[in-house]
């Protein structure tokens, strides 16, 4: 056996958040890992690329403002444009000076992968710290991730209940001959280059994980746009997972992997954490990143939201039409909810049911938005266009439904073929997916379909808000606007 490392100092962990400028953000996964490491007496540093000038800058927010999706925000006094120049040089210097025992890189999607790989490649060969990668992308694309150079371990699921055990295992430099371990959601590479997996999968007990810790994040990450204004906001979760299995969503994969994937915290646990975060970080609002906040029973929703109101906080959440019953909407409105995002995805009821496994009716969708309007909650409709086998008529059905629903914000996106779900697999089997998918460009269509060209999808994306907000008499002009920017600007000026 190799000799144990002498305990001459605290163990050091460098956390890496490879973000593009998608917007200020406090990732929940990294925030709870910080708490776990602090409890285990690790010395911690965080390298976050959010406020760097990146080779491939995410223009999602700017593009969304241009096409009328969002209102512009004056960020001048918040320093959002004060960006550092060379993220790779700064990262290498931090690795050299900090000398971490572990470097943990969170890869959320393929969108973050290029940055993560550039950081891994930038590390000197003399760096002795063990590189661990985790995040949704790693366990959806495990075979590709195993080929990354310089990594020692992969976390293939939730890590709260196993992280410290896995780090102890790696720190002790287990001999190459060890072929078995019993740590769930964990693979390590032995000295021969073989990946050793326990074959065990487990979801975390979210009721008993530590509170989120945002001490290491740039303070600018607290500020989020809201209808042209800016709020100091924290990102939290009451539930994890989703009770549904939509064909385009990563939760479909998780349901197959783990039983009991959808979990929810108790009212007491949730309110203690919110109270702690509000006072420590001087929050004005919290945003629940739950996939479906209103899936909880009505007593739990009432208990949590009443507590939030007593604290003097506002909150934002998201849900599905099936759970946005008027009584639940009334309760959250009375207790400080200022915005709810509701997933519509497609206005074609037939397409939505057959292709997306979303079985709500159009009437249920309209009822949800009517309830929001009745109780003065700002609503956002989420939808996608350019999905596999979707037609132009299907997309215009979505626009017509949203025109009647009349949400305050329409947040539409071109379908992105992320791996790990059956809609991706269907598109792949039909040979719709382009060979070279550039996930950094949200304005591009990644599918080549016989019924709807990529160029036409991109034109519909540009003009979708016009189709939603202007009546049918404008359709001929809007279709011109898909390719004529001057016509587009004239029509956009008609929308308040």
Q: Is the pLDDT of residue 374 over 90?
A: yes
Are 129 and 95 within 8 A, CB to CB? Answer: yes
Task: Give per-residue pLDDT as tens, 84-95.
Answer: 989 999 999 999
| Res. 266 pLDDT band, cuts 50 70 90 | very high
Q: Which residues contact 53 (CB under 8 A, 6 or more apart)?
A: 83, 84, 85
| Res. 1 pLDDT band, cuts 50 70 90 | very low
| Res. 363 pLDDT band, cuts 50 70 90 | very high
Phi/psi at 52 (5° precision): -120, 155
pLDDT score of 78: 85
Q: Is the pLDDT of residue 436 over 60?
A: yes
pLDDT score of 25: 82
pLDDT score of 128: 86
| Res. 62 pLDDT band, cuts 50 70 90 | low
pTM of the model: 0.92
In the chain, % of residues over pLDDT 70? 92
Top mean pLDDT of 249-253, 372-376, 419-423 is at 372-376
Rg (the chain; Cα; Å)? 23
pLDDT score of 456: 97
Q: Which residue has the higher pLDDT, 309 or 82?
A: 309
pLDDT score of 56: 62
Are 340 and 375 within 8 A, CB to CB? Answer: no
| Res. 132 pLDDT band, cuts 50 70 90 | very high
CA–CA dist 428, 473 (Å, integer): 38
CA–CA dist 395, 308 (Å, integer): 38
To the nearest whole number, what is the mean pLDDT of the chain?
90
Q: Which residue has the higher pLDDT, 7 or 373?
A: 373
Are 364 and 343 within 8 A, CB to CB? Answer: no
Q: Which residues contact 487 (CB under 8 A, 6 or more apart)?
A: 477, 480, 481
Q: Which residues contact 200 (CB under 8 A, 6 or more apart)?
A: 182, 183, 184, 185
Q: Which residue has the higher pLDDT, 380 or 260?
A: 380
Q: In terms of C-beta density within 10 A (0-12 exposed, 13-18 middle, 19 or more buried), how is residue 7 classed? A: exposed
Angle at 261 between CA 258 and CA 267, to 5 degrees: 155
pLDDT score of 212: 98
Q: Which residue has the higher pLDDT, 140 or 334?
A: 334
Q: Which residue has the higher pLDDT, 249 or 398?
A: 398
Strand blocks (E) in 324-467: 337-345, 378-385, 409-414
Q: Is the pLDDT of residue 297 over 80?
A: yes
pLDDT score of 2: 41
Task: Give per-residue pLDDT as tens, 472-489.
Answer: 999 999 999 999 999 999
């Amino acid at each position: 056996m190799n000799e144990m490392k002498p305990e001459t100092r605290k163990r050091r962990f460098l956390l890496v958040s490879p973000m593009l400028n998608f917007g200020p953000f406090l990732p929940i996964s990294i925030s709870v890992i910080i708490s776990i490491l602090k409890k285990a007496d690790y010395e911690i540093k965080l390298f976050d690329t959010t406020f760097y000038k990146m080779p491939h800058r995410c223009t999602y927010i700017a593009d969304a403002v241009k096409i009328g999706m969002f209102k512009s925000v004056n960020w001048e006094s918040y320093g959002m444009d004060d960006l550092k120049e060379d993220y790779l040089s700064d990262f290498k210097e931090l690795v050299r000076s900090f000398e971490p025992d572990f470097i943990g890189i969170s890869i959320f999607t393929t969108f973050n992968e290029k940055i993560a790989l550039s950081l891994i490649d930038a590390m000197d060969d003399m760096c002795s710290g063990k590189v661990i990668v985790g995040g949704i992308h790693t366990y959806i694309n495990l075979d590709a991730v195993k080929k990354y150079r310089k990594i020692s371990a992969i976390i293939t699921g939730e890590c709260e209940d196993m992280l410290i055990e896995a780090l102890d295992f790696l720190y002790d430099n287990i001999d190459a001959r060890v072929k078995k371990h019993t740590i769930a959601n964990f693979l390590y590479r032995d000295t021969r280059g073989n990946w050793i997996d326990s074959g065990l999968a487990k979801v975390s007990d979210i009721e008993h994980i530590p509170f989120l810790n945002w001490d290491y994040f740039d303070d600018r990450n607290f500020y989020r746009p809201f209808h042209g204004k800016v709020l100091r906001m924290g990102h939290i979760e009451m539930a994890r997972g989703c009770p549904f299995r939509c064909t385009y969503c990563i939760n479909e994969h998780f349901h197959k992997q783990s039983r009991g994937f959808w979990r929810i915290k108790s009212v007491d646990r949730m309110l203690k954490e919110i109270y702690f975060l509000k006072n420590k970080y001087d929050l004005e609002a919290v945003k629940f990143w739950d996939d479906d906040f209103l899936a909880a029973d009505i007593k739990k929703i009432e208990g949590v939201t009443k507590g939030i109101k007593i604290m003097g906080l506002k909150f934002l959440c998201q849900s599905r039409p099936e759970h946005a019953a008027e009584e639940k909407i009334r309760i959250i409105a009375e207790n400080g909810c200022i915005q709810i995002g509701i997933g519509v995805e497609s206005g074609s009821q037939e397409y939505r049911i057959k292709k997306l496994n979303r079985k709500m009716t159009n009437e249920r969708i309209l009822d949800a938005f009517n309830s929001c309007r009745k109780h003065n909650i700002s609503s956002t409709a989420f939808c996608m266009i350019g999905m596999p086998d979707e037609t132009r008529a299907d997309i215009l059905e979505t626009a017509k439904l949203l025109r009647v629903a009349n949400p305050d914000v329409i947040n539409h996106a071109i379908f992105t073929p992320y791996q790990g779900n059956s809609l991706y697999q269907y598109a792949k089997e039909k040979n719709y997916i382009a060979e070279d998918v550039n996930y950094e460009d949200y304005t591009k269509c990644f599918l080549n379909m016989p019924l709807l060209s990529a160029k036409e999808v991109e034109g519909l994306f540009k003009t979708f808000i016009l189709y939603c907000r202007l009546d049918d008499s404008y359709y001929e002009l809007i279709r011109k606007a898909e390719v004529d920017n001057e016509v587009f600007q004239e029509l956009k000026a008609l929308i308040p």
